[in-house]
Amino acid sequence: MTRTVVRRLWRHAHLATLAGDDWGLVEDGALLAEDDRITWVGTDADLPAGLEVDNEHDLGGALLTPGLVDAHTHLVYAGDRTAEFDLRLQGASYEQIARAGGGIRHTVACTRAASDDDLFNGALARARALRDTGVTTLEVKSGYGLSLAHEARCLRVARRLGPATGLTVCTTALPAHALPPEFDGRPDDYIDAVVSWLPALHAEGLADAVDAFCDTIGFTPAQTRRVFDAARALGLPVKLHAEQLSDQGGAALAASYGALSADHLEWLSDDGIAAMKAAGTVAMLLPGAFYHLRETRLPPVAALRAAGVPVAVATDHNPGSSPALSLPLMMNMACTLFRLTPLEAWLGVTVHAAQALGLAERGRLQPGLRADLAAWSLDHPRELAARFGHDPCSAVVLGGIPCTP
């Protein structure tokens, strides 16, 4: 049986293709997709003669861009940690709250107690909220189960989000996120357990990558290395929460394993930057956590820029340190707080974010790439980074299929 190809055409759009080193703007542009792939991009006047399509969409001059990629989230969890916000305003630090049994441990207790349906429904609402702000690809980490059974069910919930939303959802195993109470005082024993769980998670097809938290309230470089060795043995790529609260040399460690990304990076050193550059590791900036925790040490953006390290931006959505559900707002924060340019912020949520997930076939509007698109009520893409508190996304296209927020 011959398969029928569905051709869809978007016309009269102001395109920002992000092809090359600039915006790649095309006035009165058009884009043609066959099934889930872009097949033609250009001006409306240059559309091939005699073109036959199944669906035609007149965008009336709206801005059309690649769909956004949120490459660092913790969407699957239960419980509430807004009380910690109040405590921090009264002077308690993130580390003090964590060591007193709050922070990640509180979310772990709530997540373990929640049903699968409750976890799924909460994560589904968050994923839809992100989609409605232009996100078409999403990464979801585990890390709030901290046992084999609970990590596995959180990853299963994350796997369900793609079919339920149309989003591309990548899953990352993060059991080395924090020390659970049953392993108090025994971090090496816990890492033994984590290493023993990874083959089971991999065998079930639950993880696209492995992550860890290497910091003063997380795990040591030596413990992190053991997790990464286990991931490498399984053929899984790695990434790392690194240099958020201190310089543990985590970014260089991650780079030595060819990590997809090193994330946070407020305490990143010159050696870490050089290692990331050599390995092609993406610098993942998380301005929501920086803002919400009222941090003051800026990630070394100028040094990353000078070294040519690709920089990505993500929401880091989680219940404690970055309860954000707007990637455009993170773009504004990345520009305002970290001094990224609007173009750098855009590349950070498209091309470089896709690179941080190991996805080369998205992030630009070019033939052959996946037809993940976002339409905006904007005249120029820089407006999305410059403004905040508005919702200009009018439609998203997920693998060639339109979805109106």
| pLDDT tens readout for residues 64-82 | 999 999 999 999 999 999 8
Is residue 115 over pLDDT 80?
A: yes
Q: Return the amino acid letter for 41.
A: V
In this structure, the answer to whether residues 321 and 383 fall within a common structural domain is: no
On whether residue 135 sits in a domain, the answer given is yes
Tell me which residue of 128, 135, 127 sits closest to 65, measured CA to CA: 135
Q: In terms of residue numbers, what domain contains 212?
A: 68-356
* Proportion of the chain above pLDDT 70, given as a percent: 99
Is residue 88 over pLDDT 90?
A: no
Q: Which residue has the higher pLDDT, 101 or 305?
A: 305
On whether residue 93 sits in a domain, the answer given is yes
In this structure, the answer to whether residues 47 and 135 fall within a common structural domain is: no
In this structure, the answer to whether residues 92 and 154 fall within a common structural domain is: yes
**What CATH number did the domain enclosing 55 receive?**
2.30.40.10
| Predicted local confidence at residue 93, as pLDDT | 84
Helix (H) or strand (E) holding 15: strand 7-16
Q: What pTM was computed for the model? A: 0.96
| Predicted local confidence at residue 234, as pLDDT | 98
- In this structure, how many other beta carbons lie within 10 angstroms of the beta carbon of residue 79? 17
Domain count, the chain: 2
In this structure, the answer to whether residues 20 and 101 fall within a common structural domain is: no
In this structure, the answer to whether residues 171 and 233 fall within a common structural domain is: yes
Which two tokens mark 345?
């912020």
In this structure, the answer to whether residues 61 and 99 fall within a common structural domain is: no
In this structure, the answer to whether residues 18 and 160 fall within a common structural domain is: no
Can you tell me the distance from the alpha carbon of 156 to that of 354, in angstroms, rounded to the nearest whole number?
A: 22
Is residue 100 over pLDDT 80?
A: no
Q: What is the DSSP letter of 247?
A: -
Can you tell me the distance from the alpha carbon of 356 to that of 115, in angstroms, rounded to the nearest whole number?
A: 31
| Predicted local confidence at residue 405, as pLDDT | 58
Query: How many CA atoms lie less than 13 Å away from 358 in the CB half-sphere?
Result: 15
20 falls in which pLDDT band (50, 70, 90)?
confident
On whether residue 81 sits in a domain, the answer given is yes
**What CATH number did the domain enclosing 165 receive?**
3.20.20.140
Q: What sections of 94-239 are H helices per DSSP?
A: 94-99, 104-113, 116-132, 148-165, 187-203, 221-233
In this structure, the answer to whether residues 59 and 122 fall within a common structural domain is: no
How far CA 23 is from CA of 63, 264, 265, 340, 365, in Å, comes to: 12, 26, 27, 15, 11
In this structure, the answer to whether residues 261 and 290 fall within a common structural domain is: yes
Tell me which residue of 18, 25, 39 sits closest to 10, measured CA to CA: 39
On whether residue 1 sits in a domain, the answer given is no
Q: Which residue has the higher pLDDT, 391 or 204?
A: 204
Is residue 305 over pLDDT 70?
A: yes
| Predicted local confidence at residue 82, as pLDDT | 87
On whether residue 2 sits in a domain, the answer given is no
* Proportion of the chain above pLDDT 90, given as a percent: 90
Is residue 153 over pLDDT 70?
A: yes
| Predicted local confidence at residue 86, as pLDDT | 85
SS3 167: coil
Average pLDDT over residues 25-32: 98
